[in-house]
Amino acid sequence: MVDDPDFQTVKDSLVFNDIYIKSTNASCADDWDPKRSDIDDVRFKFMHQIKTSEVLTVEENGDSRQYFRVNLLVGCRFVKADDNEEDEMKAQIEATFCAEYLMTREDVNPDGLKVFALENVSYHVWPYWREYLANMCSRFNLPKVPLPTRQIKIKKRKSEVDTKQTPE
């Protein structure tokens, strides 16, 4: 995580508002039946990319509110690995999630918003992506994907580090 007072100010000025799917794409190759195929040689390839981010002003009941909106594209491809050829895609599941945050301050640093999009949005979207991927795998008769939980790295305070380094 970023250890910067300006970044902390940006984080403190954003309040989670909503997450939803903006677009999705899922398919299996016409010549592949996951229910009746040997899936031992199928591997997973993952995609994770910030597509866009924007600050928008919305008029609601006479009040003007600003929101920070981030579109995150995530995906999983099921590929058959072949030593002699390129990986052959057998199925894919992709989704673009829109994460929206209410801005409690108007003077937020744009660079801090970019860092927030890169460093924090994934942690908010990840549980929704895991659930969606598991659901779609079930519907397509695809193998379960071992998608781990996202762990937030917590920086230890100096006093905790010093305590652990002190010999008894």
Amino acid present at 63? D
Provide the CATH number for the domain around residue 152. Answer: 3.10.420.10
Of 115-119, 130-134, 158-162, the least confident: 158-162
Single pTM value for the model:
0.82
List residues bridging with 56 in a β-sheet.
67
Domain span including residue 141: 5-165
* CA dist., res. 134 & res. 155, Å (int): 31
* pLDDT tens digits, 72-93: 999 999 998 776 677 889 999 9
* CA dist., res. 24 & res. 94, Å (int): 6
CA-based nearest residue to 119, from 149, 146, 150:
150
Number of domains, the chain: 1
Q: What angle do CA 158, 164, 166 make, to 5 degrees?
A: 100
